[in-house]
Amino acid sequence: MAAKSAIKRFDMTGKSALVVGAAGTFGRAAAFALGGAGCRLTVADKGVEAVADDLKADGIDATLVELWPDSGANAEVIVRAAARAHGRLDAVFIALGTNDVTFVEDQSEEGWRKVMDANLDSYWRVCRAAGRQFAAQRPGDDRYKIAVASSTRGKLGHPSGYAAYCASKSGLDGMVRALAGEWGTKNVNINGIGPTVFRSPVSEWMFEENDPGKLVRENMLERIPIGRLGDVDDLMGGLIYLLSPASDFMTGQTIYIDGGYTAI
Amino acid sequence: MAAKSAIKRFDMTGKSALVVGAAGTFGRAAAFALGGAGCRLTVADKGVEAVADDLKADGIDATLVELWPDSGANAEVIVRAAARAHGRLDAVFIALGTNDVTFVEDQSEEGWRKVMDANLDSYWRVCRAAGRQFAAQRPGDDRYKIAVASSTRGKLGHPSGYAAYCASKSGLDGMVRALAGEWGTKNVNINGIGPTVFRSPVSEWMFEENDPGKLVRENMLERIPIGRLGDVDDLMGGLIYLLSPASDFMTGQTIYIDGGYTAI
Amino acid sequence: MAAKSAIKRFDMTGKSALVVGAAGTFGRAAAFALGGAGCRLTVADKGVEAVADDLKADGIDATLVELWPDSGANAEVIVRAAARAHGRLDAVFIALGTNDVTFVEDQSEEGWRKVMDANLDSYWRVCRAAGRQFAAQRPGDDRYKIAVASSTRGKLGHPSGYAAYCASKSGLDGMVRALAGEWGTKNVNINGIGPTVFRSPVSEWMFEENDPGKLVRENMLERIPIGRLGDVDDLMGGLIYLLSPASDFMTGQTIYIDGGYTAI
Amino acid sequence: MAAKSAIKRFDMTGKSALVVGAAGTFGRAAAFALGGAGCRLTVADKGVEAVADDLKADGIDATLVELWPDSGANAEVIVRAAARAHGRLDAVFIALGTNDVTFVEDQSEEGWRKVMDANLDSYWRVCRAAGRQFAAQRPGDDRYKIAVASSTRGKLGHPSGYAAYCASKSGLDGMVRALAGEWGTKNVNINGIGPTVFRSPVSEWMFEENDPGKLVRENMLERIPIGRLGDVDDLMGGLIYLLSPASDFMTGQTIYIDGGYTAI
- Identify the closest residue of chain D to B227 by CA–CA distance: D159
Q: Quick check: D112 and D128 in contact, CB under 8 A? A: no
Instruction: Kindly name the residue from B144, B162, B165, B256 that is annotated as catalytic.
Output: B165
- Tell me the pLDDT tens digit for each residue of B62-85: 999 999 999 999 999 999 999 999
Q: Quick check: A206 and B231 in contact, CB under 8 A? A: no
Identity of the residue in D157, D158, D264 whose CB atom sits nearest the CB atom of B159: D264
Helices (H), chain D: 25-36, 49-57, 72-86, 109-116, 122-136, 163-183, 213-221, 236-243
CATH of the domain at D22: 3.40.50.720
C93 SS3 class? strand
Q: Report chain A residues whose CB lies below 8 A from the CB of D180.
A: 157
Task: Name the residue among B138, B118, B242, B253 with its Cα closest to residue B187.
Answer: B138
Q: Which strands, in side-by-side order, build the sheet including B188-195?
A: B62-65, B40-44, B16-20, B91-94, B144-149, B188-195, B254-257
pLDDT reported for residue D141: 84
Q: Quick check: B224 and A183 in contact, CB under 8 A? A: no
Q: ipTM of this complex > 0.95?
A: yes
Q: Report chain A residues whose CB lies below 8 A from the CB of C219.
A: 222
Contact D181 A160 (CB under 8 A): yes
- Identify the closest residue of chain A to B55 by CA–CA distance: A1
Helix or strand (DSSP H, E) at A153: none
A210-224, B163-177, C119-133, C178-192, range with the lowest pLDDT: A210-224
Taking the model in full, what pTM does it have?
0.97
C118 SS3 class? helix
* Angstrom distance (rounded) from CA C159 to CA C173: 21
The angle formed by the CA atoms of residues A63, A125 and A68, to the nearest 5 degrees, is 45
On whether residue A222 sits in a domain, the answer given is: no
Q: Quick check: D145 and D189 in contact, CB under 8 A? A: yes
Determine the length of chain B: 264
Mutation to test the B interface, candidates A250, A257, A262, most B Cβ within 10 Å: A250
Residue % of chain B over a pLDDT of 90: 95
Side-chain-side CA neighbours of residue B209 (13 Å) = 0
DSSP conformation class of D208 = S
pLDDT reported for residue D104: 98
- Identify the closest residue of chain D to A164 by CA–CA distance: D175
Using 50, 70 and 90 to split pLDDT, how confident is the model at C141?
Answer: confident
Chains touching D (at least 3 CB pairs under 8 A) are A, B, C
Contact B161 C173 (CB under 8 A): no
- Tell me the pLDDT tens digit for each residue of D194-237: 999 999 998 999 999 999 999 999 999 999 999 999 999 999 99
On whether residue C84 sits in a domain, the answer given is: yes
* Angstrom distance (rounded) from CA C28 to CA C210: 28
The pLDDT of residue A243 is above 50:
yes
One DSSP character per residue, A33-58 reads HHHHTT-EEEEESTT-HHHHHHHHHT
Q: How far is CA A61 from the centre of its chain?
A: 20
Q: Report chain D residues whose CB lies below 8 A from the CB of C247.
A: 237-238, 257
Q: Quick check: C85 and C63 in contact, CB under 8 A? A: yes
Residue D242: give the domain boundaries.
2-195+230-256
Mean pLDDT of chain C: 96
Q: Tell me: cis bond preceding C195? Omega within 30 of 0 counts.
A: no
The pLDDT of residue D88 is above 70:
yes
Alpha-carbon dihedral B248, B249, B254, B256, rounded to 10 degrees? -80
Contact D264 B222 (CB under 8 A): no
Contact C157 A219 (CB under 8 A): no
On whether residue D217 sits in a domain, the answer given is: no
Backbone phi, then psi, for A88, in 5-degree steps? Answer: -170, 180
The pLDDT of residue B133 is above 50:
yes
Report how far apart, in Å, the C-alpha atoms of C63 and of each of B44, C50, C58 are: 53, 13, 15
Average pLDDT in the C162-169 region?
A: 98
Report how far apart, in Å, the C-alpha atoms of A146 and of each of A187, B150, B226, C249 are: 11, 25, 15, 37
Helix%, strand%, coil% for chain C, nearest 5? 50, 15, 35
Contact B225 D156 (CB under 8 A): no
One DSSP character per residue, chain B reads -TGGGGGGGG--TT-EEEEETTTSHHHHHHHHHHHHTT-EEEEESTT-HHHHHHHHHTT--EEEE----SSHHHHHHHHHHHHHHHSS--EEEE---------GGG--HHHHHHHHIIIIIHHHHHHHHHHHHHHHS---SS-EEEEEE--GGGTS--SSS-HHHHHHHHHHHHHHHHHHHHHGGGTEEEEEEEE--B-STTTGGGGSSSTTHHHHHHHHHTT-TTSS-B-GGGGHHHHHHHHSGGGTT--S-EEEESTTGGG-
On whether residue A263 sits in a domain, the answer given is: no
Q: Count of A–B CB contacts within 8 Å?
A: 209
How close D16 gets to chain A, by Cα (Å)?
21
Task: Name the residue among B117, D36, A214 with its Cα closest to residue A206.
Answer: A214
Active site residue B261: no
Contact B157 D222 (CB under 8 A): no
Radius of gyration from C-alpha coordinates of chain C = 18
Identity of the residue in D156, D159, D264 whose CB atom sits nearest the CB atom of B158: D264
pLDDT reported for residue A2: 44
Identity of the residue in D5, D178, D225 whose CB atom sits nearest the CB atom of C185: D225
* Angstrom distance (rounded) from CA C77 to CA A46: 72
* Angstrom distance (rounded) from CA D231 to CA B245: 51
Determine the length of chain C: 264
Q: Report chain D residues whose CB lies below 8 A from the CB of B264.
A: 156-159
Identity of the residue in D103, D161, D170 whose CB atom sits nearest the CB atom of A171: D170
How close C126 gets to chain B, by Cα (Å)?
11
Mutation to test the C interface, candidates D222, D250, D264, most C Cβ within 10 Å: D250
Using 50, 70 and 90 to split pLDDT, how confident is the model at B54?
Answer: very high
pLDDT reported for residue B138: 87
Q: How far is CA A149 from the centre of its chain?
A: 3
Contact C240 D246 (CB under 8 A): yes
Identity of the residue in B157, B159, B174 whose CB atom sits nearest the CB atom of C154: B174
Contact D175 A173 (CB under 8 A): no
Give the residues across from A191 on adjacent strands.
A147
Query: Domains in chain B: how many in total?
Result: 1
Backbone phi, then psi, for A79, in 5-degree steps? Answer: -65, -40
Identity of the residue in A120, A165, A181 whose CB atom sits nearest the CB atom of D158: A181
* Angstrom distance (rounded) from CA C179 to CA B49: 39
Mean pLDDT of chain D: 96
* Angstrom distance (rounded) from CA A123 to CA D15: 42
| Position A214, amino acid | K
On whether residue A183 sits in a domain, the answer given is: yes
Using 50, 70 and 90 to split pLDDT, how confident is the model at B2?
Answer: very low
The pLDDT of residue A4 is above 70:
no
* Angstrom distance (rounded) from CA A198 to CA A234: 9
Contact B170 C166 (CB under 8 A): no
- Tell me the pLDDT tens digit for each residue of B164-193: 999 999 999 999 999 999 999 999 999 999
Identity of the residue in A156, A158, A263 whose CB atom sits nearest the CB atom of C157: A263
Q: Quick check: B7 and B13 in contact, CB under 8 A? A: no
- Identify the closest residue of chain B to A58 by CA–CA distance: B1
Pairing of strands B254-257, B188-195: parallel
How close C219 gets to chain A, by Cα (Å)?
9
Q: Report chain A residues whose CB lies below 8 A from the CB of C258.
A: none
Q: Report chain D residues whose CB lies below 8 A from the CB of C235.
A: 249
One DSSP character per residue, A183-250 reads HGGGTEEEEEEEE--B-STTTGGGGSSSTTHHHHHHHHHTT-TTSS-B-GGGGHHHHHHHHSGGGTT-
pLDDT reported for residue A202: 87
CB within 8 A of A93, min separation 6: which ones?
A: A17, A18, A19, A20, A27, A30, A34, A146, A147, A148, A149, A239, A243
Contact D185 C227 (CB under 8 A): yes
Chains touching C (at least 3 CB pairs under 8 A) are A, B, D
Q: Report chain B residues whose CB lies below 8 A from the CB of D260.
A: 157
* Angstrom distance (rounded) from CA A23 to CA B229: 40
Helices (H), C184-250: 213-221, 236-243
How close A26 gets to chain B, by Cα (Å)?
11
* Angstrom distance (rounded) from CA B34 to CA D37: 63
Q: Count of A–D CB contacts within 8 Å?
A: 149
The pLDDT of residue D4 is above 80:
no
The pLDDT of residue D1 is above 70:
no
Instruction: Kindly name the residue from C165, C241, C256, C261 that is annotated as catalytic.
Output: C165
Contact D159 B264 (CB under 8 A): yes
- Tell me the pLDDT tens digit for each residue of C22-69: 999 999 999 999 999 999 999 999 999 999 999 999 999 999 999 999
The pLDDT of residue C100 is above 90:
yes
Identity of the residue in B72, B131, B178 whose CB atom sits nearest the CB atom of C166: B178
Q: How many CB atoms lie within 10 A of CB B205?
A: 13
Report how far apart, in Å, the C-alpha atoms of A183 and of each of A77, A177, A187, D158 are: 22, 10, 7, 10
Helix or strand (DSSP H, E) at C128: helix C122-136
Contact C264 A219 (CB under 8 A): no
Contact B163 C124 (CB under 8 A): yes
How close D107 gets to chain B, by Cα (Å)?
20
Q: How far is CA B232 from the centre of its chain?
A: 11
On whether residue D31 sits in a domain, the answer given is: yes
CB within 8 A of D101, min separation 6: which ones?
A: D160, D161, D162, D165
Q: Report chain C residues whose CB lies below 8 A from the CB of A222.
A: 219, 222
Backbone phi, then psi, for C53, in 5-degree steps? Answer: -65, -45
Q: How far is CA B147 from the centre of its chain?
A: 6
Report how far apart, in Å, the C-alpha atoms of A14 and of each of A29, A139, B234, D68 are: 19, 15, 22, 52
* Angstrom distance (rounded) from CA D197 to CA D68: 23
- Tell me the pLDDT tens digit for each residue of A69-120: 999 999 999 999 999 999 999 999 999 999 999 999 999 999 999 999 999 9
pLDDT reported for residue B3: 47
On whether residue B205 sits in a domain, the answer given is: no
Backbone phi, then psi, for C65, in 5-degree steps? Answer: -130, 115
* Angstrom distance (rounded) from CA C40 to CA C18: 9
